[in-house]
Chain A
Amino acid sequence: MRASLPIVLLLALLTGAILLDKPRQAAELTFINRGEVHTLDPQRMSWLQDFRIANSIYEGVVAHDNDTFEILPGVAESWEISPDGLTYTFHLRRDAKWSNGDPVTAQNFVYSWRRALFPDTAAGYADLFYKIRGGQAFFNWRSEQLASFPQQAAGLSQSKRRDLAARLFAEAVQRFSDTVGLRAPDERTLILTLEVPTPYMLDLLAFGPFMPVHPPTVERYVSLDPATGSMRQQHGWTKPPHLVSNGPYVLDVWRYKRDLRLKRNPSYWNPLAAVSDSVLCISVEDANTAVLAYETGTIDWLSDVGVDYRADMLAQKKRYMERNAARYEELERQGLGYNEILAILAKESPPRAGERNDIHAFAAFGTYFYNFNCQETLNSGAFNAFKDARVRRAFARSVDKQAIVDRVTRQSQPVAHVLIPPGSLAGFSGADGLRYDPALARRELADAGWSDRNGDGRVEDEAGNPFPTVEILFPSVSEHKAIAQAIANMWERELGVRTRLREEETKVAATHLQEHNFMVARGNWYGDYGDATTFLDLHRTGNSNNDRNYSSPVFDDLMARADAELDPEQRLRLLEEANAMIENEEIPLLPLFHQVTLYMYDPARLRNVSTHPRLTQFLHELEVAR
Chain B
Amino acid sequence: MTAMIVRRLLQAPLILLIIYTVTFALAWLLPGNPLDKPEGRRPPVEVQEAMKAQYSLDNPVKFYVSYLDQVSGLAWLRDRGGGDEGESADAPLAARPIFNLGPCLQYEDWSVNEIIGGALPVSVVLGLVALVFALAIGLVAGVVGAVRPGSWMEVATLLVALIGISLPSFVIGTALLIVFAVWLEWVQVAHWGSPRDLLLPALTLSLPFAAYIARLTRLGMIEVLSADFIRTARAKGVSEARIVLRHALKVAFLPVLSYLGPAAAYVMTGSFIVEKVFNIPGLGQHFVNSVLNKDLFVIMGVVLTYSTMLVLFNLTVDILYRWVDPRIEQG
Q: Does B222 contact A (CB under 8 A)?
A: no
Q: Does B89 contact A (CB under 8 A)?
A: yes
| Structural contact, A510 and B32, CB atoms closer than 8 A | yes
| Structural contact, B131 and A21, CB atoms closer than 8 A | no
| Structural contact, B190 and A298, CB atoms closer than 8 A | yes
Within 8 A of A (CB), among B130-184: 131-132, 135, 174, 177, 181-182
Shortest Cβ gap from B68 to chain A (Å):
16
Q: Does A122 contact B (CB under 8 A)?
A: yes
Picked from B32, B88, B95, B276, the residue with its CB within 8 Å of the CB of A286 is: B276
Docked CA distance A408–B215 (Å): 47
B-side contacts of A226, CB under 8 Å: 87, 89
| Structural contact, B110 and A285, CB atoms closer than 8 A | no
Residue of B nearest to A119 (CB): B50
| Structural contact, A119 and B46, CB atoms closer than 8 A | yes
Q: A5-B323, A286-B277, A507-B293 are in contact. Are A21 and B50 (CB under 8 A)?
A: no
Q: Does A13 contact B (CB under 8 A)?
A: yes
Q: Does A606 contact B (CB under 8 A)?
A: no
Shortest Cβ gap from A306 to chain B (Å):
13
A residues contacting the other copy or chain, number (CB 8 A): 85
Q: Does B51 contact A (CB under 8 A)?
A: yes
Q: Does A152 contact B (CB under 8 A)?
A: no
Interface class of chain B by DSSP = helix
Interface class of chain A by DSSP = mixed
Docked CA distance A524–B41 (Å): 9
Q: A507-B292, A507-B294, A508-B31 are in contact. Are A122 and B47 (CB under 8 A)?
A: yes
Q: A256-B114, A524-B39 are in contact. Are A3 and B324 (CB under 8 A)?
A: yes
A-side contacts of B189, CB under 8 Å: 289, 292-293, 295-296, 298
| Structural contact, A511 and B33, CB atoms closer than 8 A | yes
| Interface size range of chain B in the complex | 35 or more
Shortest Cβ gap from B19 to chain A (Å):
24
| Structural contact, A223 and B90, CB atoms closer than 8 A | yes
Docked CA distance A545–B193 (Å): 43
Shortest Cβ gap from A304 to chain B (Å):
13
Docked CA distance A295–B47 (Å): 43
Shortest Cβ gap from B48 to chain A (Å):
7
| Structural contact, A39 and B118, CB atoms closer than 8 A | no
| Structural contact, B47 and A124, CB atoms closer than 8 A | yes
Q: Does B260 contact A (CB under 8 A)?
A: yes
Q: Does A326 contact B (CB under 8 A)?
A: no
Picked from B31, B54, B128, the residue with its CB within 8 Å of the CB of A122 is: B54
The interface stretch among B101-109, B229-237, B302-310 is B101-109
Within 8 A of B (CB), among A1-48: 2-3, 5-7, 10-11, 13-14, 17-18, 20-24, 36-41, 44, 46
A-side contacts of B8, CB under 8 Å: none
The interface stretch among A76-84, A189-197, A230-238, A356-364 is A230-238
Q: Does A351 contact B (CB under 8 A)?
A: no
| Structural contact, A528 and B41, CB atoms closer than 8 A | yes
The 0/1 profile, CB within 8 Å of A marked 1, for residues 115-133 of chain B is: 1001101101100110110
Q: Does B81 contact A (CB under 8 A)?
A: no
Picked from A17, A24, A283, the residue with its CB within 8 Å of the CB of B125 is: A17
Within 8 A of B (CB), among A92-149: 119-120, 122-127, 139-140, 143
Shortest Cβ gap from A491 to chain B (Å):
25
A-side contacts of B89, CB under 8 Å: 162, 223-226, 232
Shortest Cβ gap from A514 to chain B (Å):
7
Docked CA distance A192–B215 (Å): 75
| Structural contact, A11 and B190, CB atoms closer than 8 A | no
Q: Does B331 contact A (CB under 8 A)?
A: no
Q: Does B257 contact A (CB under 8 A)?
A: yes
Picked from B42, B125, B135, the residue with its CB within 8 Å of the CB of A18 is: B125
Shortest Cβ gap from A542 to chain B (Å):
8
Q: Does B91 contact A (CB under 8 A)?
A: yes
The 0/1 profile, CB within 8 Å of B marked 1, for residues 217-232 of chain A is: 0000101111110101
Q: Does B329 contact A (CB under 8 A)?
A: no
The 0/1 profile, CB within 8 Å of B marked 1, for residues 318-332 of chain A is: 000000000000000
Q: Does A288 contact B (CB under 8 A)?
A: yes
| Structural contact, B132 and A285, CB atoms closer than 8 A | no
Q: A36-B107, A41-B109, A235-B109 are in contact. Are A544 and B32 (CB under 8 A)?
A: no
Picked from A39, A286, A296, the residue with its CB within 8 Å of the CB of B108 is: A39
Q: Does B21 contact A (CB under 8 A)?
A: no
Q: Does A506 contact B (CB under 8 A)?
A: yes
Docked CA distance A299–B189 (Å): 10
Q: Does B45 contact A (CB under 8 A)?
A: yes
Picked from A2, A299, A544, the residue with its CB within 8 Å of the CB of B45 is: A544
| Structural contact, A158 and B110, CB atoms closer than 8 A | no
Picked from A122, A257, A511, A545, the residue with its CB within 8 Å of the CB of B51 is: A122
A-side contacts of B185, CB under 8 Å: 296
B-side contacts of A238, CB under 8 Å: 109
Shortest Cβ gap from A367 to chain B (Å):
12
| Structural contact, A298 and B191, CB atoms closer than 8 A | yes
Q: Does A573 contact B (CB under 8 A)?
A: no
22 contacting pairs across A/B (C-beta < 8 A)? A5-B323, A6-B320, A18-B195, A21-B122, A21-B125, A24-B193, A38-B106, A46-B37, A46-B41, A238-B109, A256-B110, A256-B119, A285-B276, A295-B182, A296-B182, A296-B185, A507-B293, A508-B31, A510-B36, A511-B36, A514-B36, A525-B41
Shortest Cβ-Cβ A-B pairs, 6 listed: A23-B193, A507-B32, A293-B190, A258-B281, A235-B109, A119-B50
Given contacts A230-B53, A232-B90, A256-B110, 19 further A-B contacts (CB under 8 A): A7-B135, A14-B129, A18-B195, A23-B193, A38-B107, A41-B108, A122-B43, A124-B41, A126-B47, A158-B85, A159-B85, A221-B91, A256-B107, A257-B115, A289-B190, A296-B182, A475-B38, A505-B31, A510-B33
| Residues of B in contact with A (beta carbons under 8 Å apart) | 31-33, 36-51, 53-54, 85, 87-91, 95, 106-110, 114-115, 118-119, 121-122, 124-125, 128-129, 131-132, 135, 174, 177, 181-182, 185, 188-195, 198, 249-250, 253, 257, 260, 276-279, 281, 285, 292-294, 320, 323-324
